[in-house]
Structure 1
Amino acid sequence: MKEYELEVLEQYDMEVKSTRRIRGAFFCDTNEGTMLLKETKISARRAPLLYKLLSRLETEAGFQVDTPVFTKNGEFLCAGRDGTKYMLKKWYAGRECEVKREADIIEAVRQLARIHRNLSWQRNFDDIEESFSFVGRLPEEEVKRHNRELRKVRAFIRNRVSKSDFEYLFLENFEKMYALAEKVTARLEGEECRKLFWESIEKRLLVHGDYNYHNVLMMAAGMPAVTNFEHFRMDIQAQDLYYFLRKVMEKHQWDVCLGRKMLEAYQAVRPLTVSEKEYIALNLAYPEKFWKTASSYYHSNKAWIPEKSVEKLRLSVLQAEEKLDFLEKIFTLNLQVPVV
C-alpha cells in the first residue's frame, strides 16, 4: 500500500494490522474485523443514505451487508492526497458466488427475494421527505436510447466505403435484431409496464441496482452476504432479478431447467405478479449483447476491429434464438420475430 493510501486509513479510528490489495480496493485486517477500503464515486449527499439503508438491513433485519464505517470526523468519505475518494466498509470472510455452481445461484436468488421484502424508502428513510432524486427511469427509456444508438451505428457503417467483416455482419443482421428491439420497446411502453413502474414508485420500493454474482458472498454458515448497494434507487424490484437472471443465463446458454429453478426459488420467498414476470421477460428479450457489441465498436478506434468483436457479434445473433426459446418456455412470451 502506498504512503498516501496509508494516510487514508489513518483517518479512521481503528488499528490496521495488515492490508492486501485487490482490484480497485484493499482488504484491511483491523482490530474491529475485516474491512474493505475501496475507491468510490458516490456523492457526499448519497453516502449517509447508503449508511442508513445498510445499517438498518444489518441491525433490524439481520442481513450481512457492507455497511460503511465512520471516519474520525464522522464522515463516510475520505480523500487521498491525489483527490481520489475512498469509503471504508465492513467485509466478510466468504467466497464469491460461483456462477457455475447451481446451489450458489439458487441461494443468491433466495437472498435477493429476502432483501427485496425489506427494501423500501418508507421502511428505511421514513424521516426523509426528499426522494425524487433516487427514482429510476420509465421502463422503455433505456431501450429507446439503445435503439437510437443502433440506428446511428447503421448509418455510420452504411456511409463507409470500405467495410470490415464486423460491419458486413452488423448490416446483415441489423433488420431482424432491430425488429426485435422495437417489439420489446413497444411492449415496455404499454400500460402494464408503466403501471408497474408507477406502482413501485408509489410504494417507494427500492432496488439493489447492481445485483450480480460478484456482489454476493457465500458464507460458511448462514445466509449470503450482499455488497455494493451504491446504485440503490426506487424502481421496479424485478429489475434486480432480471439483471441477475440475464448474467447467469448468459453463462449457462439459457438453460431452461436452471432458469425455472431460479424463478421458483425467488417466488418461494417473494411471489411475482403477472406484470413483473412480463417485465422480466421483455427485458431479457431485448438484444442487449447485439447493442453492447455495436456500441463498443462505435465508440472505439474503427481503423482496427479485433476478431474477438466479430465473434461477439456473431454469438449475440446466434444466442438470440436460444434466448427467445427460453422465454417462450419459461414465461410463455412469444414475440414472433425470426432471428435466424
Structure 2
Amino acid sequence: MREYEMEVLEKYELEVNSTRRIRGAFYCDTKEGTMLLKETKISERRVPLLYLILNRLEKQGYLVDTPVFSKEGNLVQNSRDGTRYLMKKWYPGEECNLKREEDIFRAARKLGELHLGFQWYEPDLQEKEIFQKFQKEEVQEIPQNTQQSVCEEKKIDWTKLSPLLSKNPLEEMKRRNREMKKVRSFIRKRVAKNEFESYYLKHYEEIAWQAEKVTEQIERSGCQNLYERSIRERKMLHGDYNYHNVMILPENEVITNFERMRIGIQVDDLYYLLRKVMEKYHWKQKTGQNILEAYESVRQLKLDEREYLCLRLAYPEKFWKTASAYSRSNKAWLPEKSVEKLQTAVEQTKEKEVFLREVFE
C-alpha cells in the first residue's frame, strides 16, 4: 500500500492487522471485521443515499457492502493525489463462479429475495439526523451571506436524496435504434472499410429489423404500464446485478456494488443477470430455465413482467452495445476484440431465438 493510501486508512477508527491489493481495491483485515478500501467516482450528493439504502438492507438481514464513516464523519475520503476512496464492509467469500451453476442459481434466488421488499421511502427522523454532518460540510463551502437560507432549505428538502429514475424502456429502444442506424450511415460513407465495418453492414439489416420488431412489440404491450407502475410504487433495483457483484458464502450470499441502484422495473436486474450468463452458456435452455425457476421460487413474476423480460432479451443488446462502442472509438484503429464481439452477437441470434421460443412460449 502506498503512502497516500496509508494516510487515507489512518482517517478511519479501524485497527488494521494487514492489507493486500486486490482488483481495483485494498482488502483490509481489521479488528472490526473485513473491510475494502476502494477508489470511487460516486458523487458527494449520492454517497449519503448509498449509505442510507445499504444500512436499511443491512438492518433487514442482508449482507451488503455498506460504506463506513471516517473519524470526521465522512464517507468519501480524498488522498493527497486527488484520488477519492470509499471504505466499505466486506466479506471473506468468493465471487459467484460462472462455471458453477449452483452459484448462479443462488444469485438468482437472492435477487428474488431482494426484490420482495426493495422499495424507496423517505428517510425517517432518525435517518435524517445521521446526515446532518453531510449538510454542515456542504454549507461551509457556501458564501457566508447565504449559509442560513440554504441550510434551512436543505433541512426540509429531502426529495433531493431520492434515487434516480430508470429511463423509459420504450424511449431507450428507440434511441438505440437511431444510434445503430447512424453508425450504418457513417460506415457507408467511408471509402476503405475495415473488417468490423464490413461485417456490420453485412448484418445490419437483419439485426435492425429485429430491433424494430421488438420495439413495436414493446409499444403495443403493457410494458409502458409496468414502467409507470414501478415508478409510482417506487420499486428499487440494483442496477448492475451480475455474477461479479455477488459473493458466495457457505450459508449466505453477499450483494455488492449498489452504485447504480435506481427506481424502475425490477425485472431489469433479472434480465441483466440472465443475459450475461446466457451469453456465456450459448443460450443453453436448461440453465436459463433453472435461473428463472430459482428467482421465481422466491418471487413469482407477473404476466407483464414476464412479457417485458422476454422482449428485453429479444432485443439485440450486444449488437447495439458493440456499435455504440465503435461510435465512440478511434475509427483508425479498432481492437480485434470488437470484431469478435460483433460476430458473437450475430452468431448467437439464432440460439437466443430458440431459447426464447422454448422458455417463454
TM-score, normalised to structure 1's length?
0.92
Is the deviation greater in 112-121 or in 289-298? 289-298
Instruction: Determine helix, strand or coil for the equivalent of 2:169.
Output: coil
Cα–Cα, structure 1 residues 255 and 77, in superposed 2: closer, same or farther, change >3 Å?
same
Which letter maps to 2:341?
K
Q: Following superposition of structure 1 onto structure 2, how do residues 51-70 of structure 1 map, counting pairs within 5 Å?
A: 51-59=51-59, 61-70=60-69
Q: Which runs of 5+ in 2 are unaligned?
A: 126-157
The answer to whether the 8 Å contact 2:163/2:261 transfers is: no
Percent identity for Structure 1 against Structure 2: 55
Is 1:219 the counterpart of 2:249 in the alignment?
yes
Amino acid at match of 1:315: T
Instruction: Pick the structure with greater CA Rg.
Output: 2
| Residue in structure 2 matched with residue 261 of structure 1 by the alignment | 290
Aligned to 2:76: 77
How many residues align? The count is 329
| 1:58-93 residue CA offsets vs partner (Å, 9 max, x unmatched) | 12x211111110011111111111222111000001
2:49–2:162 contact (8 Å) kept in structure 1: no
Q: Look up the match of 2:155.
A: none
Q: Which amino acid aligns with 2:49?
A: L
Question: After superposition, what is the alpha-carbon deviation per residue over 1:162-183, rounded to whole angstroms, capped at 9, x for unaligned?
Answer: 2222222111111110011111
| Cross-structure match for 1:88 | 87
For each residue in 1:21-43, what CA deviation from the matched residue of structure 2 results, as whole angstroms up to 9, or x when unmatched? 12221101111111001111112
Residues 1:284 and 2:310 aligned together: no
Mark the CA change 1:318 to 1:157 in structure 2 (over 3 Å): closer, same or farther: same
1:99-153: CA deviation from partner (whole Å, max 9, x where unpaired): 121110111100001111121002x746654566521111123322322221121
Letter paired with 2:40: T
> Are residues 79 and 190 of structure 1, via their aligned partners in 2, closer, same or farther at CA, if it must alter by over 3 Å?
farther
TM-score by length of structure 2 reads 0.87
Alignment of 1:1-340 (within 5 A): 1-59=1-59, 61-122=60-121, 125=123, 128-130=158-160, 134-190=164-220, 192-220=222-250, 222-332=251-361
Residues in 1 aligned to 2:57 and 2:339: alpha-carbon distance in whole angstroms: 44
More deviation, 316-325/127-136: 127-136
Which is worse superposed, 106-115 or 140-149? 140-149
Instruction: Kindly state the Cα deviation for residue 301 of structure 1 after the two structures are TM-superposed.
Output: 2.4
Preserved contact between residue 230 and residue 265 of structure 2 (Cα < 8 Å): yes
Structure 1 equivalent of residue 139 of structure 2: none
- In 2, Cα distance between equivalents of 1:281 and 1:317: 18
| Distance in 2, Cα, partners of 1:50 & 1:168 | 44
